[in-house]
Structure 1
Amino acid sequence: MSKITLLHNPRCSKSRQALQLIQENNLQVDVVEYLKAPLSPAQLAELQKKLGLQDVRDMMRSKEDIYKELGLNDSAMTNEQLHAAIAEHPILLERPIAILGNQARIGRPPELVLELI
């Protein structure tokens, strides 16, 4: 089996739980601390496809202060603008996200990451 990539924030309990579930299932994991190594807008567009989401906002943390400050709930904003906002402010990306091949899952609840196996 291929290695699962986990977009991880070690300060987040859900992210830590998802990592633990992956490890308990003896799966290989590549942990990416996305706050330290933000994804590019192109990578975020690809991630959105892998998640199967029409609306970028479904992979965003809308309760973050920066979300409101930037007015990201404005329906006139394009996907490209939203991807750029996440790339510039990675705290906006929902977490954790597990990626395997052409599929990805947001780990809320953390058990959803196991749908990839």
Structure 2
Amino acid sequence: MTQLEILHNPRCSKSRQTLELLKQNGHDPVVIEYLKHPLSKQQITQIIEKLSIQHPRLMMRTKEAEFSELGLNHEDTSIDAFIEAMVSHPKLIERPIVITENKARIGRPPESVLEIL
């Protein structure tokens, strides 16, 4: 069985639902509480690749105050600035994200993570 990881915030209902869904489907993922243990630039870059998204903004919580406070809502913001913002402000990372060896999915809705299992 493929090793699973979940970027998890226990205070988030979608994150809790996704973790429970994984367990109901026979998986015991490694739980990464990314707010307590922030991710590195390399880890975030790898997740972006596994998500197969065109821009890091697609894995960010754009409605958080920090998003606009950091100027991330400007069109000329560099990709590197988005990644650095997630390193420095992990609260900006969308949650939950389920990660396998080769793929990742954001658990919104929670059932979407089943596509990569």
Encode CA deviations 1:14-61: one digit per residue, 9 max, x unaligned: 000000000001112100000011111121111101000111110000
The alignment status of 1:77 with 2:88, answered yes or no, reads no
Tell me how far apart the structure 1 counterparts of residues 43 and 80 of structure 2 sit (CA, whole Å). 11
Instruction: Map residues 1-117 of structure 1 onto 2, 5 A cutoff.
Output: 1-117=1-117
- If the length of structure 2 is used for normalisation, what is the TM-score? 0.97
Question: Is the CA contact (8 Å cut-off) linking 2:4 and 2:29 kept in structure 1?
Answer: yes
Deviation of 1:113 after TM superposition, in Å, equals 1.1
Question: Is the CA contact (8 Å cut-off) linking 1:2 and 1:28 kept in structure 2?
Answer: no
Which runs of 4 or more aligned residues in structure 1 lie more than 3 Å from their structure 2 counterparts after TM superposition?
none
Encode CA deviations 1:77-105: one digit per residue, 9 max, x unaligned: 21111100010000000000000111000
Aligned partner of residue 105 in structure 2, secondary structure: strand
Tell me how far apart the structure 1 counterparts of residues 35 and 86 of structure 2 sit (CA, whole Å). 10
Higher strand share: 1
Percent same amino acid at aligned positions? Answer: 50
Q: Identify the range of structure 1 (71-80 vs 99-108) with the bigger mean alpha-carbon deviation.
A: 71-80
Deviation of 1:73 after TM superposition, in Å, equals 1.3
Aligned partner of residue 99 in structure 2, secondary structure: strand
Q: In angstroms, what is the RMSD of aligned CA positions? A: 0.8
Identify unmatched segments of 5+ residues in structure 1. Answer: none
Give, as a single letter, the amino acid of the residue that structure 1 aligns with 2:38.
Answer: P
Question: Is the CA contact (8 Å cut-off) linking 2:71 and 2:77 kept in structure 1?
Answer: no
